[in-house]
């Protein structure tokens, strides 16, 4: 595997994608009683920062030829409207979600994509970007990130911690002198990034994640001030 984190900046190095919420697409499918289909692309070079972008550019050109312009609000969402039918395609690197008002049209699209790319059809959507999609008896869908949360707890050695009703006190204030736990800022940033993504399905954590983000910002500013002084 290529070590993408060792690449030197240059060209389109800074043009990257970020995980997007799939709530809107899932809501549209539930509201209209459409099936959620999931595809996976077999051949993409992992580890190279430019590879996902080049793959996305090629897929985008192909979808435009098929009549799927990208949404102005989200370049990873492609929408087809013709002959009273609508199809949505949501793309994140090698993961693709497809929903539409016509199953035959969706299957036709999947066949067309398969003729141009190495596509694997995974059936109905059940797992996407670390989010588990579980059908409920009442027809709704439950979105969870239990695996990511368990992995995060193990990474931070908190998997045996006791449960509390609230993740932090409501009136907690932080300064740069509060703690000496920043001996590994990279680890702290990675944990914070994981926590931010967990708020996709656990919005009640947004407050505490915001607080620790502010603490990281304070620490970063403090580090910068020291480097400037020296």
Residues of the chain with pLDDT under 50: 1-19
Q: pLDDT of 99-132, one tens digit each?
A: 999 999 999 988 888 888 888 888 888 888 888 8
Q: Answer for the pair 69, 79: CB distance below 8 angstroms, yes or no.
A: yes
User: Considering the domain 4-144 in this protein, what is its CATH number?
Assistant: 3.30.310
Q: Which residues contact 12 (CB under 8 A, 6 or more apart)?
A: 50, 53
Q: Is 209 left (phi over 0), alpha (psi -120 to 50) or beta?
A: alpha
pTM over 0.75: no
Pull the structure tokens for residue 169.
Answer: 């006190």
Domain boundaries, the chain: 4-144, 146-229
To the nearest 5 percent, what fractions of the chain are helix, strand and coil? 40, 20, 40
Residue with tokens 């500013």, as numbered in its chain? 221
């Amino acid at each position: 595997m290529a070590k993408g984190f060792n690449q030197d900046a240059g060209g389109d190095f800074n043009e990257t994608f970020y995980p997007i919420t799939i709530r809107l697409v899932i809501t549209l499918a539930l509201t209209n009683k459409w099936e959620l289909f999931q595809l996976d692309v077999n051949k993409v070079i992992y580890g190279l920062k430019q590879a996902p972008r080049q793959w996305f550019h090629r897929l985008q050109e192909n979808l435009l030829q098929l009549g799927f312009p990208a949404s102005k609000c989200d370049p990873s969402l492609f929408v087809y409207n013709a002959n009273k039918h609508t199809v949505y395609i949501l793309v994140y690197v090698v993961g693709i979600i497809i929903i539409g008002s016509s199953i035959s049209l969706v299957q036709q699209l999947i066949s067309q994509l398969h003729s141009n790319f190495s596509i694997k059809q995974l059936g109905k959507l059940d797992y996407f970007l670390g989010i588990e999609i579980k059908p409920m008896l009442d027809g709704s869908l439950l979105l969870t990130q239990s695996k990511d949360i368990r992995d995060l707890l193990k990474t931070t050695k908190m998997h045996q911690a006791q449960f509390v009703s609230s993740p932090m006190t409501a009136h907690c204030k932080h300064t740069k002198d509060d703690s000496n736990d920043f001996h590994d800022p990279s680890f702290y940033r990675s944990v914070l990034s994981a926590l931010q993504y967990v708020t996709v399905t656990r919005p009640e954590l947004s407050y505490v994640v915001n607080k620790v983000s502010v603490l990281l910002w304070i620490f970063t500013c403090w580090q910068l001030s020291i480097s400037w002084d020296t």
